[in-house]
Structures are given as structure tokens and as C-alpha cells.
């Protein structure tokens, strides 16, 4: 089965948002980790960030898979512990060293991890 996509949410490219800011305009939508198929998102070079919220009462882990770069180096982020009630974030990710084709691949060990992907302007 293919990994479950987590769609990127684009952060508006403005220093001065229209005011008053509409309700929900700055909200970040979180989705539960797919612990069967795992997750992925399309990388936009240098603009993709991953956010994980642990909504549970105990620590859970997140793994982010790297890909060999031009020097054949890899550097997975493995079983990073996200404490109960905490938010962790990574990136922005470069395509080189992280993209499997065009995808950043990541996973959690429990559905209490909620993911969001941000795309910087």
C-alpha cells in the first residue's frame, strides 16, 4: 500500500495580512498518523516543514526517512520521542537527502501523533 499523503498547508507570503484576520485563517489542520501505511508529503525544496503533536498521555515516537545525497550519506531521524502534550517540528527539508522521488516519508508509532505539513512561502 502507498503511504498516506499529508497535504501541505501553504503559509501566506505576506508580512501584513488583511485585517481583521478571518476566523480559521491561521489555523493548522492536524491529521492522525497512519500507523499501518505510514505517511508522506511532497517536498518543495527548502520550504517543507513537518509538525507533530502528541495528543496522548504518554510519549510516542516519530521517524523521518532520509535518502542518500550526492555523497551517498543518509541521516534518518529515528524514533524521535515526542512527549505527551508536546509539539515537535522539523525542517525546512531540502530535496537532496530527503526526497524519495518527490516525497518526504515519515511515520509514528501511535495514532495519538497528529501530523501537519507546512509549506513556507
Q: Where are the domains of the chain?
A: 4-10+35-119
How does strand 103-108 pair with strand 60-65? antiparallel
Find the angle CA(92)-CA(98)-CA(64) to the nearest 5 degrees: 80
- Asked if residue 11 has pLDDT above 80, the reply is yes
- Asked if residue 21 has pLDDT above 90, the reply is no
Average pLDDT value for residue range 90-119: 97
For residues 18 and 67, the model is more confident at: 67
What is the reported pTM? Answer: 0.92
% of the chain at pLDDT higher than 70: 100
Topology (CATH) of 4-10+35-119: Hypothetical Protein Tm1070; Chain: A (2.60.290)
- Asked if residue 13 has pLDDT above 80, the reply is no
For residues 78 and 13, the model is more confident at: 78
Q: How far apart are CA 35 and CA 3, in angstroms?
A: 10
- Asked if residue 16 has pLDDT above 90, the reply is no
For 58-99, the pLDDT digits (tens) are 999 999 999 998 899 899 999 999 999 999 999 999 999 999
Contacts of 60 (CB under 8 A, 6+ apart): 54, 81, 82, 108, 109, 110, 112, 113
* Integer CA distances (angstroms), 117 to 6, 83, 99, in order: 7, 19, 15
All three cell numbers of 78? 529515528
Amino acid at each position: 500500500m502507498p503511504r498516506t499523503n499529508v497535504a501541505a498547508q501553504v503559509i501566506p507570503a505576506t508580512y501584513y495580512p488583511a485585517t481583521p484576520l478571518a476566523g480559521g485563517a491561521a489555523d493548522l489542520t492536524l491529521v492522525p498518523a497512519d500507523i499501518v501505511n505510514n505517511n508522506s508529503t511532497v517536498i518543495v525544496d527548502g520550504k517543507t516543514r513537518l509538525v507533530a503533536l502528541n495528543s496522548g498521555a504518554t510519549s510516542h515516537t516519530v521517524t523521518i526517512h532520509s535518502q542518500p545525497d550526492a555523497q551517498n550519506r543518509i541521516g534518518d531521524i529515528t524514533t524521535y520521542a515526542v512527549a505527551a502534550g508536546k509539539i515537535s517540528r522539523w525542517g525546512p527539508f531540502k530535496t537532496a537527502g530527503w526526497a524519495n522521488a518527490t516525497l518526504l516519508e515519515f511515520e509514528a508509532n501511535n495514532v495519538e501523533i497528529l501530523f501537519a505539513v507546512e509549506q513556507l512561502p
